Copies of this chain bind each other. A is one copy, B any other.
């Protein structure tokens, strides 16, 4: 059973929230870690609503400094202070977030109970997070102001021990981690069983590409190639392709075209303009170009790369 790797949709509306849709935020969960991707107004309430433990978040990634992508951040940070948080929080965003937050703390005459570490995102492909199982890179979008997507990529995974071998050789539990790394098994009577006889190749590392907001562009296509899941904004349907261009946003068919050309496994669209009440038509337009498309809707939990199961 692979580690949990999934994203929960907290908001799917572009620019202006509607009575049914909040603006952009997602919680990415990998095993027992949780990361916030964008943090629109109401994110802390949405997290409570969907029973996501607030304190599990240590890293927050903000795509750009348009209000519909970060206006929930000040409130979440105040809440952490009021709850007495002690652990550092890391915020990754284009330059300026320290100013936005700083002025508020100064005027509120508050010193947060924990340290806020600001990390500035700059042009180019940066690796901004790295641990033993996962890394996160920026993806450069094409929007009116500096804007970044995020590629969340699992690292090389361990080999899988064949269930039949566990039974046959009664492999002791404490030897399993080393066998998964490629070591041969030495049985109780000294016999050597080569690793390749009792394991199979590691599962393909899984990846999630989060791309919001952007004009249609193929500038990052190599970086997202073959991703298990691509989230790509589709603010407008094809009827408003002109407005999409003018506002530096993409359409359903453009998101689907990129998914197809990049050979991703699944496409998740969102960031719908408030002009549209019904979303079904978004899906219908996208699947004509790329059949494995799903809609981002509040509360949805989407697994990333479960194909190996």
B104 close to A67 (CB less than 8 A): yes
Within 8 A of B (CB), among A117-134: none
Set B19, B65, B145: member contacting A48, Cβ < 8 A = B19
A104 to chain B, nearest CB (A): 6
Of the stretches A73-81, A156-164, A179-187, the one at the interface is: A73-81
Set B17, B48, B75: member contacting A71, Cβ < 8 A = B75
Q: Tell me, yes or no, whether A305 is within 8 Å of chain B by CB.
A: no
Expressed in whole angstroms, the Cα–Cα distance for A41 and B42 within the complex equals 6
Q: If the complex has contacts A42-B42, A67-B108, A74-B71, are A49 and B99 also in contact, measured as CB distance less than 8 A?
A: no
The residues of B that contact A109 with a CB separation of less than 8 Å are 144-145
Interface size class of A (residues with CB under 8 A): 20 to 34
Assembly of this chain: how many copies? 2
Encode contact with B along A14-44: 1 for CB under 8 Å, 0 otherwise. 0111110010000000000000000001101
A292 to chain B, nearest CB (A): 32
A41 close to B75 (CB less than 8 A): yes
Expressed in whole angstroms, the Cα–Cα distance for A44 and B71 within the complex equals 12
Expressed in whole angstroms, the Cα–Cα distance for A107 and B102 within the complex equals 14
A82 close to B15 (CB less than 8 A): yes
A79 close to B16 (CB less than 8 A): yes
The residues of B that contact A104 with a CB separation of less than 8 Å are 65, 67, 100
Set B41, B49, B74, B144: member contacting A44, Cβ < 8 A = B41
Q: Tell me, yes or no, whether A245 is within 8 Å of chain B by CB.
A: no
B99 close to A107 (CB less than 8 A): yes
Expressed in whole angstroms, the Cα–Cα distance for A286 and B145 within the complex equals 52
Expressed in whole angstroms, the Cα–Cα distance for A108 and B44 within the complex equals 22
The residues of B that contact A75 with a CB separation of less than 8 Å are 17, 41, 67-68, 71
Q: Tell me, yes or no, whether A72 is within 8 Å of chain B by CB.
A: yes
Encode contact with B along A59-74: 1 for CB under 8 Å, 0 otherwise. 0000001111001101
B107 close to A48 (CB less than 8 A): no
Expressed in whole angstroms, the Cα–Cα distance for A269 and B83 within the complex equals 24
Q: Contacts A41-B45, A100-B104, A107-B145 given; 4 further ones with Cβ under 8 A?
A: A41-B42, A41-B72, A65-B107, A100-B107
Binding site for B on A (CB under 8 A): 15-19, 22, 41-42, 44-45, 48-49, 65-68, 71-72, 74-75, 78-79, 82-83, 96, 99-100, 103-104, 107-109, 144-145
